[in-house]
Structure 1
Amino acid sequence: AVLVTAQLPAFAQPGQTIDVTVSSIGNSKSLRGGTLITTPLKGADGEIYALAQGNLLVGGAGASAGGSKVQINHLSAGRVPGGGQVERAVATPFALGETIDLGLNSSDFQTASRVTDAINRVMGAGVASAVDGRVVRLRAPANPGERVGFLAKVEEIRLDAAIPMARVIINSRTGSIVMNQAVSLGACAVSHGNLSVSISSTPVISQPNALSTGGQTVVTEQANIQISQDKGSLIKLDTAPQLADVVRALNSLGATPQDLLAILQAIKASGAMNAELEVI
């Protein structure tokens, strides 16, 4: 049993081909060399939008013998390039109405205002108007051909990149921390100590006496737990107006990425960090 998925691109028409991803959902150890039989791909509404079939391309390799196994990448997932054929088109309001809404990737009012000014400067006053920080509304021609040319000109308008909003992204699952160039750090003091917990398990075999009756050999586990905490020192961090200074100040603490998660949250709570903290 496999799971077949695909992404239907915008303006897809019946007869066009799309790539298909096939993943094992059963106990299959490898899909290498497999062939996908005709499979209907349905949308959330239950309608069939494409049909998929073809030979799988698996990027992994593996071999096993005598209880040993070697595997490179994944063998239980693969792709069928061009294996899906679109059977139903998705209705789009592109050619309907007098306006077209542009959805911005960056949701902030500064970017929406700069996009509106740039379009009005090239295409004429009153063509673009900002609805909110995400949507810019354009007055477009009614003819579909002219509307395509209108959007082609809009795509070519150059827009100078604005200074991004200061943001620190923390991935609590992997311990990754990413911050942009707008992050600044005010003067503060941080006390940091290393706390380590070590848990070891040793198998212990208990055997009955040689002359005992009804005894059994039992294997138990003996756990040993040790907790150690180093003495922490109070470290003062000077004002860091640039990203390089922020990284240099945090590296002076000698903390691991997992420790920095708690340190950055505490610095943000104290008001010493000029950035938005986002945990994903």
Structure 2
Amino acid sequence: MARPDRVRHRRSRAWQHARPSRLAAAVLLAFCLAAPVVEAAPARIKDIAEFQGVRENMLIGYGLVTGLNGTGDNLRSSPFTQQSLVGMLERLGVNVRDQAIRTKNTAAVMVTASLPPFRRQGSRIDVNVSTIGDAKSLLGGQLLPTPLRGANGQVYALAQGPIASSGFGVEGEAAKITVGVPTSGRIPGGAIVELEVPFELKELQSMRIALRNPDFTTAAEVARVINQALGDRVATMVDSGTVEVAVKAKGPDAVANLIARIENLTVEPDTPAQVVIDDKTGTIVIGQDVRISTVAVAHGNLTVVVQENPQVSQPGPLSNGQTVVVPRTQVKVDTGSGKQLAMVPSGATLKELVDSLNALAVGPRDLIAILQAIKNAGALQAELVIQ
């Protein structure tokens, strides 16, 4: 790290002596807007965008799992499981409506799946199964036939099969242990597609490309790369998240061939300067284009440790005294005065900033507070996103 000149050193010392009550390190972050910008890594269009009609469809269903080894729902506390079980048995010709059912080998579950694009009738898709009652485990369970519906209420697939669950739980009278999540599982290829999503690529006269991260610069670059590759002005930027491509070729496979040519073209996506903070976990993600104007920051913590070490005082032999407990308290205060001033040269890169903060032993929680304060001061030239 570059050593500051004599004038700055004097000012730093004077500033430190003027603030003797500060309880932490002072960090000086100097950034220049004219700092060199690192070019973004090229990416294929298929990795940053989606093509019109080429999308998944979410499916959901309600079903029953049987064959559990006493780890199913308690029918008294899960009336929906009992009603579903009675209704299923009645459809199979078994009347148990007025009977007391005490089985614990059945569990009510929610079944979800994603229907990939252009998946034809008769093909198989994976499904996920999770309990909604008080079942303890789905290990060894069998999902009964369950229709999976789309957002429009139509049945698109039928799920059935043995559940593969990696979690398990074991408990005794005084202890228990649970590994993974035994109340959820997966059935690979557990659903058969019964209804196809109606969509025909060959009917399109133009095709739209939707960017996953809308940005005008990236959309303009996608249109430019497509026009350069196809040798004609067929791509037009509609907005920051949409690029429209005209289909000029004829034939039933014209649109499919056009997508195959476009999806492997590479572009350099542009991203806005952002600092993303997850306050719950202390995670901080700083983009490469983030710049901070010259600013001085003082931040720190007052650490007080109170330790109790009571001691027993006993009277001497043949005396009339009493045994008493004498309190002994030790108090330690850490003001963080041993930390030093960090100097970051103007135009420093993101790596130099991180190295400087690591050298001062600034943790993620302290860094979150520093970035929030810099943003409030108007010195953070980026969007601060707090999750």
**TM-score, normalising length: structure 1:** 0.80
Give 2:134's match in structure 1, choosing from 14, 20, 27: 27
Judge which range, 261-270 or 237-246, deviates more: 237-246
- Retained in 1: the 8 A contact 2:201–2:256? no
Amino acid at match of 1:144: P
- The 3 A distance-change label for structure 1 pair 142 and 276 is farther
CA distance in 2, matches of 1:259, 1:119: 46
Give the CA deviation at 1:118: 0.9
* Secondary structure in 1 matching 2:297: strand
* Secondary structure in 1 matching 2:182: coil
Output one character per residue of 1:67-119: Cα deviation in whole Å (capped at 9) or x when no partner: 22222211111100000111222223633331000011231111111111111
Give 1:185's match in structure 2, choosing from 292, 297, 302: 292
Output one character per residue of 1:221-275: Cα deviation in whole Å (capped at 9) or x when no partner: xxxxxxx894688956534531112212333554332232222121122232232
- The 3 A distance-change label for structure 1 pair 91 and 229 is farther
Q: Does 1:39 align with 2:146?
A: yes
Match of 2:259 in 1: 151
Q: Does 1:277 align with 2:384?
A: yes
- Retained in 1: the 8 A contact 2:119–2:196? yes
Amino acid at match of 2:272: M
Match of 1:213 in 2: none
Amino acid at match of 2:163: L
Amino acid at match of 2:255: R
**TM-score, normalising length: structure 2:** 0.59
CA distance in 1, matches of 2:193, 2:367: 49
Match of 1:91 in 2: 198
- Retained in 1: the 8 A contact 2:120–2:193? yes
CA distance in 2, matches of 1:41, 1:148: 29
Amino acid at match of 1:90: V
Match of 1:208 in 2: none
- The 3 A distance-change label for structure 1 pair 93 and 261 is farther
State the structure with more CA Rg.
2
Instruction: Describe how 1:136-215 pairs up with structure 2 within 5 A.
Output: 136-140=243-247, 141-159=249-267, 161-194=268-301
Match of 1:106 in 2: 213
* Secondary structure in 1 matching 2:253: helix
Output one character per residue of 1:175-219: Cα deviation in whole Å (capped at 9) or x when no partner: 211112222333211121215699xxxxxxxxxxxxxxxxxxxxx
* Secondary structure in 1 matching 2:239: coil
Which one has more relative contact order, counting CA pairs under 8 Å at least 6 apart?
Answer: 2
Unaligned runs of 5+ in 2: 1-107, 306-332
- Retained in 2: the 8 A contact 1:3–1:23? yes
Unaligned runs of 5+ in 1: 199-227
Give the CA deviation at 1:171: 1.2
Counting aligned pairs with the same residue, the percent is 39
- Retained in 2: the 8 A contact 1:97–1:142? no
- Retained in 2: the 8 A contact 1:23–1:77? yes
Give the CA deviation at 1:58: 0.8
CA distance in 1, matches of 2:380, 2:358: 16
Residue correspondences, number: 252
CA RMSD for the aligned pairs? 2.6
Output one character per residue of 1:21-72: Cα deviation in whole Å (capped at 9) or x when no partner: 0011111111111111011111222211111110111112332233222222
Give the CA deviation at 1:162: 4.1
